[in-house]
Amino acid sequence: MTTINTKQKSAAKDPRKSIARVAVKGAASHSARRKLSGHPQLILPSLRGKFGDWIYYSCLMSVADIAERVHYAEEIHTDKALSKLIQRSLEGPRAKHIACYLVNTKERFFSAMVLATYGGEPQWMDVGNFHSTSKADVVNLLDETSKEAMGFLALSGKERIFAVDGQHRLAGIREAIRAGSTFEGERLPVLLIGHDDKNNRQRTRRLFTTLNKTAKPVKKQDIISLDEDDAMAIISRRLVEDHSWFRDPRIAVISSSNVPSSNTQCLTTITNLYNVLRLLLMHHTKQKSDRALRFLRPTDEVLEEYYQYIVSFFTELAKRFPPIKVAFTSKASDPVAKYRNDYGGHILFRPIGLLIVTDLVTQYMTAKGATMEDAVAAISAIPTDLSSAPYRGVIWDPDRSLINAKQKRLVRDVLSHMLGLTEGDSAALKGRYAAALNRPEATLPGKLK
């Protein structure tokens, strides 16, 4: 059993300013909470570290204390209008989405927030004099720097603390607490840095922009591969792993949405499959946003319902579009070669075409109150050859054998018009179509019966 004794040391060995001051003076300062002007005193278990020319403290802080003590980054700016601009941008829909995640997700987790503090009298108490009755050889391996890195950080309550990185998480925490959540006993990691004079204000503002500019969203390929909350990712993985129609190489498990020109085996890519599932599940759940589908894991029963709904869609596609069945079931080495080639081929064998058709199916079900079966049957009347109208010269460039994804919406609108799903100014649609073809005299394709 290892026993630990504490001793007080100054952490101000580095000549640069840090958050820590001289060690705590007097036993009264050791109180975990003591009422002062502002907030009560707070002592946080911490690690003291140095990176570049920053001295920082990695601490554990309760969710309630974060909500109560930490401010938005208005202290970075002296201009109050800029401060208000920051606050308005934070306390909006994203805060509510994060709060929803916190309230509804048992396995919730956040990465460390970066907090800056100034004023007050933050004090560092390191833990030293390690000794052990059973692991003395291990303790002897610890150098003085490592021993002095462990300790407690005492906040007087007079400090001003604000979030340099993690402002949306802070807004979400506050929103969840306002909604009645307590997060009793839960603590989050925070990184505390110093912020005092005018130069440090500029330095902290630079750190703020660096952390936020260099942060990158998670790539879709990583979401599909790993996300256990995203309904589309979960079902995409299950289809590829468990259903014979979707196993690689029938669905290309690659990072791009686009199918390589040399691929003559797959219907589409797993990334495009995810996008198709998104359209279908947003329709199925009657949601205008996909946030709940991405961030709130459904129950196993609901996931099973979603899975069967998706399978039924592709079953109907295979029934009404025979080439789709070939792609799913053929044992040939190049089952889709004649459906996706330099001459265009079948609309459904292009990622953009599969998305357009899926969009039309959901649109038809909504407009007509139709079942999936009836909607796919109706949509199966559309032209499928990319070298014909309304695709040729719009999304299909026959001269360069290329897809023009920018015209996806126009093709969808023209097909919707042909199916009788939209009512409105057909003259405007005709103008858009003629402009895309660069033929002012062009007319819209006739309506389907």
pLDDT in tens, 352-387: 999 999 999 999 999 999 999 999 999 999 999 999
Instruction: Identify the weakest region by mean pLDDT among 124-138, 246-260, 280-294, 377-391.
Output: 124-138
> Phi then psi for 132, rounded to 5 degrees?
-145, 140
Question: Which pLDDT score is estimated for 25?
Answer: 31
Strands 150-155 and 54-62: unpaired
* 73 and 143 share one domain: yes
Cα–Cα distance between 281 and 340 in angstroms, integer? 27
19-63 pLDDT tens trace = 333 233 322 333 344 343 468 889 999 999 988 888 899 999 999
* 273 and 197 share one domain: no
91-126 pLDDT tens trace = 677 788 889 889 988 889 998 998 888 777 788 888
Note the pTM of the prediction, 2 decimals: 0.68
Q: Please tell me what DSSP assigns to residue 137.
A: H
* 207 and 258 share one domain: no
In which region does residue 214 sit, left (phi positive, over 0), alpha (psi from -120 to 50) or beta (all else)? alpha
Within a domain: 408: no
* 111 and 132 share one domain: yes
Quick one: how many helices (H) and strands (E) in the chain?
Answer: 17, 15
* 157 and 297 share one domain: no
Within a domain: 295: yes
User: How is residue 291 written in tokens?
Assistant: 């946030």
Q: Please tell me what DSSP assigns to residue 385.
A: B
Confidence of residue 440 (pLDDT cuts 50, 70, 90): very high
Cα–Cα distance between 174 and 180 in angstroms, integer? 10
164-217 pLDDT tens trace = 888 889 989 999 999 999 999 899 999 998 755 555 666 666 676 667 666 667
Mean pLDDT of the chain: 83
* 110 and 224 share one domain: no
Structural domain that includes position 250: 220-380
- Of the two residues 277 and 28, the one the predictor is more confident about is 277
Instruction: Identify the weakest region by mean pLDDT among 108-112, 212-216, 298-302, 345-349.
Output: 212-216
Do residues 409 and 352 touch, judged by C-beta distance below 8 A? no
* 300 and 320 share one domain: yes
* 44 and 137 share one domain: yes
Strands 2-6 and 42-51: unpaired
Within a domain: 20: yes
The tally of domains found in the chain comes to 2
Question: Which pLDDT score is estimated for 222?
Answer: 78
Q: How many CB atoms within 10 Å of residue 43?
A: 19
Average pLDDT over residues 235-263: 90
User: Which of 179, 214, 249 is where one domain is finished?
Assistant: 214
What does the longest C-alpha to C-alpha distance in the chain come to?
93
Within a domain: 203: yes
Average pLDDT over residues 433-448: 92
Do residues 256 and 306 touch, judged by C-beta distance below 8 A? no
Cβ within 8 Å of residue 425, ≥6 positions away: none
* 241 and 362 share one domain: yes
CA distances from 186 to 60, 162, 391 (A): 10, 20, 56
- Closest by Cα among 330, 386, 328 to 357: 386
Question: Which pLDDT score is estimated for 35?
Answer: 40
In which region does residue 129 sit, left (phi positive, over 0), alpha (psi from -120 to 50) or beta (all else)? left
Within a domain: 413: no
User: How is residue 229 written in tokens?
Assistant: 């909350």
Confidence of residue 89 (pLDDT cuts 50, 70, 90): low
* 261 and 371 share one domain: yes
Strands 251-252 and 187-194: unpaired
Secondary structure of 204-222 in HEC code, one letter for each residue: HHHHHHHHHHHCCCCCHHH
Within a domain: 434: no
- Closest by Cα among 92, 84, 33 to 62: 33
Q: How many CB atoms within 10 Å of residue 288?
A: 6
Q: How many CB atoms within 10 Å of residue 273?
A: 27
> E-strand spans in 52-158?
54-62, 70-71, 113-118, 123-132, 150-155
User: Which of 214, 245, 279 is where one domain is finished?
Assistant: 214
Within a domain: 202: yes
- Closest by Cα among 119, 121, 117, 111 to 193: 117
Question: Which pLDDT score is estimated for 213?
Answer: 65
* 147 and 225 share one domain: no
Within a domain: 429: no
Cα–Cα distance between 112 and 188 in angstroms, integer? 7
* 186 and 269 share one domain: no
Average pLDDT over residues 206-229: 74
User: Which of 162, 182, 214 is where one domain is finished?
Assistant: 214
